[in-house]
Amino acid sequence: MKVFTAAAVLVLFSSGVPASAAQAPNVTVAVLDTGIAEHNKLGWSLDSLGRGSPKLPALAGFDFVSDPWQAADGDGWDADPTDPGDGVRPREVANHCASRASTWHGTNVAGTIRIIAPEAQIVPIRIMGRCGGNTADVAAAVLWAAGLPVPGVPDNPHPADIINLSFSGMSEVCPRALSTAIVQAGEKGSVVVVAAGSRARDTAQETPANCPGVLAVGAVDLQGARAPTSGFGDEVDVSALGGDMSINPKNGIRTTTNLGRYRAGIPGYGYYQSSSAAAARVSATLALLASQVQGSRGESLVMELMNFLDPLAEGDCDQGVGQCGEGIVNLERVQALTTT
C-alpha cells in the first residue's frame, strides 16, 4: 500500500521548490475548465474595467462558453476567460439547473498545476459556466488550445504542450466533434490529460475519459486506494493522488480558490478532490518531465511518465486488476529528478 505523507500532499505549496530545481519553464499547460478567478498566486488580476489581465505564469486565454446565460458575463465567445462564478442563485433556477454555489473549479485546477510546476505557463480556457457547458464549445477549445484554427477566433499564440480536462459528462460514446478535436490535438503534439470522472462509474460511460487519444487519470486517496468517487475501468491509464474529503475536508488537495458564494469575492485557498485534482497533478508532473527530457512531447512524453509509476497494491483498486490504470504517478520521484 502506498501511503502519501503530509509533505507529499502539501508539496511545494507554501515556499516553492529549491532554487536549483527545474520548475517547467517554457512548458505550456492549457486548463479547459470554468475559467480563472483573480489570484496573485496564478498571475491573474482584473483591470479597471473588470477584464482579466494575465501576468506570468498566466498567459492570455479565451472564453468558449457560447450561451450568454451560462457564461454569466453578458455574451458568448470572447477573449476573456475570467470566471465570474458558475453558481446558480435560487431565483435563477427556473428552466435551468438546481441552485448551487460557485465551484471555482478552473481556479482549483490551475492552482494545483502552478503549485507543482511553478514556472509552467498556464493558458486558461473557459468552457463551462452556470449549469455546465456543451460539446461543440469544448471541441473548439481543444483545437484552439493545441494551436489549431477555430473559425472566427484569433489563433492561440501559445499552443499547449499539455491540455488538461478535469471534468466529465455521462455518455456511452465520445461525441464525434470532441473525438476529432482530441485526435487532431494529439497529432499536433499536445498531450490531452482527462479526469476519469467523480461519479464512481465505469469510464466506458464517462466522456472525455472514453475518447480516443486521451491520458485518463483516476484518483487514489492518501492510503493509495481508489478514491470512493473516482471513475474506474479499462479506459483509465494511470492513477494519481486525488484525495477523499468524505471524512475530513483536509484529506483533499489544497489549492487556490475564490471565497465568493455565487460571484467572485476574495481570493483564497481551499481543498478539492477526486479525479479532477488527480488529473491536474498529472498535468503538472508532465510539465516537469517535459522541461527535463529534451524533445519529449506528445506520445514520447506519456511514455516517459510511465517510468514514474508505483504499482497499486493488491486490493487498492477495488474494481479489479487494471481498472485503476497501470499504476500511481509518483510525483516525488519526478521532483527528485528535477533537482539533480
Is 104 part of a structural domain of the chain?
yes
Reported as a single tens digit per residue, the pLDDT across 145-188 is 999 999 999 999 999 999 999 999 999 999 999 999 999 999 99
CATH of the domain at 297: 3.40.50.200
Is 269 part of a structural domain of the chain?
yes
Residue 61 predicted with pLDDT over 60: yes
> Which residues span the domain enclosing 109?
6-338
The percentage of the chain sitting over the pLDDT mark of 70, rounded to a whole number, equals 91
Is 89 part of a structural domain of the chain?
yes
Domain count, the chain: 1
Is the Cβ–Cβ distance between 63 and 198 less than 8 Å?
A: no
Residue 22 predicted with pLDDT over 80: no
Is 1 part of a structural domain of the chain?
no
Q: Identify the residue whose cell numbers are 527535463.
A: 292
Residue 16 predicted with pLDDT over 50: no
- pLDDT value at position 133? 96
Is 240 part of a structural domain of the chain?
yes
- pLDDT value at position 12? 38
Residue 31's DSSP bridge partners are 124, 164
Is 326 part of a structural domain of the chain?
yes
Is 32 part of a structural domain of the chain?
yes
Is 121 part of a structural domain of the chain?
yes
Reported as a single tens digit per residue, the pLDDT across 252-279 is 999 999 999 999 999 999 999 999 999 9
Mean pLDDT to the nearest integer, 280-291: 97
Positions annotated as catalytic residues are 33, 105, 276
Predicted model pTM: 0.94
**Nearest-angstrom CA–CA distance, 129 and 321:** 37
- pLDDT value at position 2? 67
Q: Identify the residue whose cell numbers are 478552473.
A: 106
